[in-house]
Chain A
């Protein structure tokens, strides 16, 4: 390169040329637009955007909405038992999941399980479990083991195990492990390392996610009854079926209050753990 070519831009302006971003930007925007258009084509399964139907339904909808805004407080006593069942399911589900999540997590993280095939196998199972939505699990489990709290409980356990194992094992994977390395250098077996170091070290992480799972459980178990898996959701579904919107709004308000209380309690506990 001659000195003249390097000096030339400097004489014109101090600024480097603007990077050419518009071709890429146009490409990305048009791809997103094309995808969005494709999601609006009913012929291939897309969503038919029909604001007219909503306008038509609006009068009936407004009546329903005003009924929802008038809670039927006399209904409260009948909600106590199902609400308790919901809370019990949430709690027991979280406890069982907590017990199951410890070995599975240590199995799914690289520093605690150097054996690749078994680690990948556990991860694959967890990923498949997580890919099936909660209510889909509940629907299938209800068909398999019958209506009641048991399929709901199983759904919660599966869901919690999926979340806790994924989050904690990824946290273990991405952290540095000086103590584990020291123990390995000192000749500890993998079991000794996991039992004596990895587990106590990561227990706060676990506890955090267990509480989070409990929070999620209260929310999910409130709706599991819709497909017959026990709890307050069954009552909610029944009242919806009877168009008893006053009762429905009582149930929704109760769920709201319970979720807020559980979240506040769990928030306090987590602050103490941190």
Chain B
């Protein structure tokens, strides 16, 4: 054992002078690291943050943690559940609207389905909707339609179209061509290809994305509530403003438990849809 090791080290120490290639240049990495580091340094020093306040943060977290969770105010739980259901409703209706709109549009935007001009227009629209933060789309819509849970649901539906449409056409494009070719060979037109080749093959993935949209919307609907659309977010923002910490603690527990429960159920459903029973 030691003999073979020794001989191996001998060969490796003997050869380097002859065979070793030159070390690859690390100039690019070094410069990139330096630039990122410099920008970071400048950002940290010029950012208007009192870093000293961080020292008090652990104490503050502890203090507010006790205020919120030592004795949560469960007397307002019925009201909280009512508002939570409102948020879930917003999320569900928003997801429904988003999916109903984005599946046909996304299909038309897929390679080989819609005409080229329509494909590029739709992809452009999706990209713009994706780039604007959802809350801002919601805010703009809410100036048009007023602040109600219904308009919140509409906002969620429209804000999600960008991403959902992209997922839809990407799903369609990753399908194998076999079924579509077969339908075409049998004389089917564009509609027949979509109905009999693409739709059945893409359906599990599209359903799974629809559920995922619902999960995203559950979080977004709480955010819209903070902006004023109603639901658990509005209640949370109000009680935070009143500094009624015991109620805020209860509301946070409701939000976390609900979100995790929805994630778990929806995740299990998604796995079942994608992998079968």
Contacts and interface: CB of A to CB of B under 8 A. Distances in A.
A216 to B, nearest CB: 10
A223 B233 CA distance: 15
B46 A88 contact: yes
Interface string A127-161: 11001111110011001111011100110000000
A36 interface: yes
B139 A240 contact: yes
Contacts of A134: 219, 223
B14 to A, nearest CB: 26
Contacts of A80: none
A114 interface: no
Which 10 A-B pairs give the minimum distances between C-beta atoms?
A: A61-B144, A39-B89, A45-B85, A131-B259, A133-B219, A45-B82, A88-B43, A135-B223, A45-B86, A131-B256
B40 A91 contact: yes
A68 interface: yes
A112 to B, nearest CB: 23
Given A44-B85, A45-B82, A45-B86, A54 B60 contact: no
B57 interface: yes
B133 interface: yes
A143 B243 contact: yes
Contact of B148 (A53, A154, A263): A53
B266 to A, nearest CB: 12
A131 B255 contact: yes
Contacts of A61: 143-146
A102 interface: no
Contact of B48 (A131, A219, A230, A236): A230
A252 interface: yes
Interface stretch (B3-11, B90-98, B105-113, B169-177): B90-98
Interface string A37-74: 01110001111111001100110011011001000000
Interface of A: 35-36, 38-40, 44-50, 53-54, 57-58, 61-62, 64-65, 68, 85, 87-89, 91-92, 95, 127-128, 131-136, 139-140, 143-146, 148-150, 153-154, 219-220, 222-223, 226-227, 230, 236, 240, 245, 252, 255-256, 259-260, 263
Interface in B131-158: 131-133, 135-136, 139-140, 143-146, 148-153
Nearest to B67: A144
Contacts of A89: 47
B259 A39 contact: no
A259 to B, nearest CB: 5
A139 B236 contact: yes
B227 A133 contact: no
B143 A240 contact: yes
Given A44-B85, A131-B255, A140-B248, A85 B48 contact: yes
Contact of B89 (A47, A133, A153, A255): A47
Given A62-B144, A91-B40, A127 B50 contact: no
* Interface-central residue, B133, B252, B255, by most chain A CB under 10 Å: B133
Contacts of A255: 132-133, 136
Contacts of A223: 133, 135-136
B148 A48 contact: yes
B240 A140 contact: yes
7 contacts: A47-B86, A47-B152, A62-B144, A85-B48, A131-B259, A132-B252, A245-B143
Interface string B235-274: 0110011010000100010011001100100000000000
B88 interface: yes
B109 to A, nearest CB: 19
A145 B53 contact: yes
Contacts of A252: 132, 136, 140
A220 B92 CA distance: 23
A53 B146 contact: yes
A153 B49 contact: yes
B42 to A, nearest CB: 8
B226 interface: yes
Contacts of A148: 48-50
Interface in B150-204: 150-153
B94 to A, nearest CB: 9
A122 B272 CA distance: 27
